[in-house]
């Protein structure tokens, strides 16, 4: 019999490959659910998506982009004007300040264009690693990190890909075990899985294609 040099590592690597394969087969066309036509629109939509559903953001952005179509226009908007347009997304005062500030810095320091590096993106008001990873991955196709939103955090823990509880540490663990070529698709697929099957309360484990690979303590059904 062929001897494995490191059975533990290989077993865990095989499990991760199996999880990635199932996700790819189940959600082959998963994409970002936030409607956008440019890096700027995606940046705005992602800032607005904090503590808010993508569906709600998509209801708000058409009028927002029509009224203030460019970073320069948004920089010149008043806070009450912005607040009125984004009120239903929650935390609208902070978000209005972020949008106005994002418009300003992109206009004044980045020549009106959304930058394509993590350090530059992190200088934009309202943009933390999650938003930066969304913009880099979804728009620029640059895999600099892995988006860790509420779905990715919950499911990475359920699948025992990490024991961490903060997005930064979960991201670091995922970046260590998932091939970089899959970082962007992994995010979209896990978010789809989190919305459709592995929901926060009472996950639909009996219908889950990952069930045979999952030992989550809060599983609602187990075949093994």
The reply to whether 211 sits near ligand SF4 by the rule CB under 6 A is yes
Question: Measured between alpha carbons, how far is 184 from 102 in angstroms, rounded to an integer?
Answer: 24
How far is Cα 167 from Cα 174, in angstroms, rounded to an integer? 10
Token output for 201:
């309360």
Quick one: which of 197, 200, 201, 223 contacts ligand SF4 (CB under 6 A)?
A: 197
Q: Which is nearer to ligand SF4, 95 or 189 (CB)?
A: 189
Near ligand SF4 by CB under 6 A: residue from 36, 129, 158, 189: 158
Q: Assess whether 72 carries a catalytic annotation.
A: no
Total binding residues toward ligand SF4, as defined by CB under 6 A: 13
Q: Candidates 104-112, 126-134, 177-185, 205-213 — which segment interacts with ligand SF4 by CB under 6 A? A: 205-213
Asked if 16 is part of the footprint of ligand SF4 (rule: CB under 6 A), the reply reads no
Asked if residues 193 and 23 have their Cβ atoms less than 8 Å apart, the reply is yes
CB of residue 67 vs ligand SF4: minimum separation in angstroms? 41
C-beta of 202: minimal distance to ligand SF4 in Å?
9
Nearer to ligand SF4, 176 or 224 (CB): 224
Q: Is 2 a catalytic residue?
A: no
At a CB cut-off of 8 Å and minimum separation 6, what does 154 contact? Answer: 194, 198, 200
| 210 binds ligand SF4, rule: CB under 6 A | yes
Q: Cα–Cα distance between 4 and 10 in angstroms, integer?
A: 8
Tokens 């940046």 sit at which residue?
A: 43
CA dist., res. 159 & res. 12, Å (int): 12
- Do residues 124 and 105 make contact, with C-beta atoms less than 8 angstroms apart? yes
Q: In terms of CB distance, is 136 or 198 closer to ligand SF4? A: 198
Nearest CB to ligand SF4, comparing residues 148 and 208: 208
């Amino acid at each position: 019999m062929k001897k494995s040099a490191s059975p533990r590592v290989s077993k865990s690597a095989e499990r991760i490959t199996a999880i990635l394969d199932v996700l790819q087969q189940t959600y082959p066309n998963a994409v970002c659910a936030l409607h956008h036509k440019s890096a700027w629109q995606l940046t705005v939509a992602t800032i607005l998506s904090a503590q808010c559903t993508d569906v709600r953001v998509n209801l708000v952005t058409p009028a927002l982009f029509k009224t203030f179509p460019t970073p320069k226009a948004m920089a010149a908007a008043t806070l009450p004007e912005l607040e009125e347009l984004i009120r239903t997304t929650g935390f609208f005062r902070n978000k209005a300040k972020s949008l106005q500030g994002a418009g300003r810095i992109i206009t004044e320091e980045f020549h009106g264009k959304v930058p394509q590096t993590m350090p530059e993106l992190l200088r934009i008001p309202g943009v933390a690693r999650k938003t930066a990873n969304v913009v880099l991955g979804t728009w620029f196709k640059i895999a600099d990190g892995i988006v860790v939103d509420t779905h990715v955090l919950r499911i990475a823990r359920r699948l025992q890909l990490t024991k961490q509880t903060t997005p930064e540490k979960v991201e670091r663990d995922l970046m260590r075990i998932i091939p970089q070529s899959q970082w962007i698709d992994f995010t979209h697929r896990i978010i789809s899985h989190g919305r459709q099957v592995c929901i926060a309360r009472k996950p639909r484990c009996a219908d889950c294609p990952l069930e045979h690979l999952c030992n989550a303590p809060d599983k609602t059904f187990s075949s093994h």
